[in-house]
Chain A
């Protein structure tokens, strides 16, 4: 399959632990996005990468959240000292470039549960 992949699909962790969520975008897509979907909520933007740089980090909720992208491909979202309010589905999306028509292709998401 050539779609966006994410791992793990489910993650259960204890409050205070760190977690890493991985996103593998569609090959050749230069733009990558992380969103969060909490129960009963719409999608909330977290961060946008163009290549390896992140020109928009405005959606990261706190300094416990960080993300990186290496080789213009795989991205990792790290949440340190997880809290119960971090429980959500974390969705990754990629798009071909930053052109006007910017269809974003989404991955299946990682469901994070913080106990």
Chain B
């Protein structure tokens, strides 16, 4: 079963606007972590933000925030004030705490920021 679903293969946004990238997940474990990574055309995976399942508040890191809705099993990434350098692939990933440490990734969303 797909554990991480990213339904937007591509998104477009104008510079300085905000954009939301969707991510839903599926797990029966009460303890898990959710991650967002950015992959520019250079190929390197860059960690953006983390949300733990027991965290009471939504995570924020600079222009990135995570809209965590536990009951809906969604963890959408919000990028405020988009910049041209935000154009990249964005991957949502989950780590289930019991057991092993691997990340399970979604298929990604390609974001294009236009001037």
Residues of A bordering B, CB below 8 Å = 31, 33, 35, 41-45, 48, 50, 55-56, 58-59, 89, 91, 93, 95, 98, 100-109, 111
Q: Is the interface of A mostly helix, strand, loop or mixed?
A: strand
Distance in Å: Cβ of B53 to nearest Cβ of chain A: 10
A-B contact pairs, 21 of them (CB 8 A): A33-B101, A35-B103, A42-B105, A42-B106, A42-B108, A43-B45, A43-B91, A45-B103, A48-B102, A50-B101, A89-B43, A91-B45, A93-B45, A98-B101, A100-B97, A101-B52, A102-B95, A102-B101, A103-B50, A105-B47, A108-B43
Q: How far is B100's CA from A104's CA once the two chains are assembled, in angstroms?
A: 14
- Does B68 touch A at the CB level, under 8 Å? no
Contacting residues, chain A, for B4 (C-beta < 8 A):
42
Distance in Å: Cβ of B104 to nearest Cβ of chain A: 7
A95 and B43 contact, Cβ closer than 8 Å, known pairs A102-B33, A103-B50? no
Contacting residues, chain A, for B103 (C-beta < 8 A):
33, 35, 43, 45, 104
A45 and B47 contact, Cβ closer than 8 Å, known pairs A101-B33, A102-B95, A103-B35? no
Q: How many residues of B contact A (CB 8 A)?
A: 26
Distance in Å: Cβ of A89 to nearest Cβ of chain B: 6
A104 and B47 contact, Cβ closer than 8 Å, known pairs A42-B91, A43-B91, A48-B101? yes
Contacting residues, chain B, for A95 (C-beta < 8 A):
101
Q: Does the CB pair A33–B102 fall under 8 Å? A: yes
Q: How far is B25's CA from A5's CA once the two chains are assembled, in angstroms?
A: 31
Contacting residues, chain B, for A91 (C-beta < 8 A):
45
Apart from A56-B102, A59-B102, what 6 extra A-B contacts exist at CB < 8 Å?
Answer: A33-B101, A35-B103, A95-B101, A100-B31, A106-B46, A109-B44
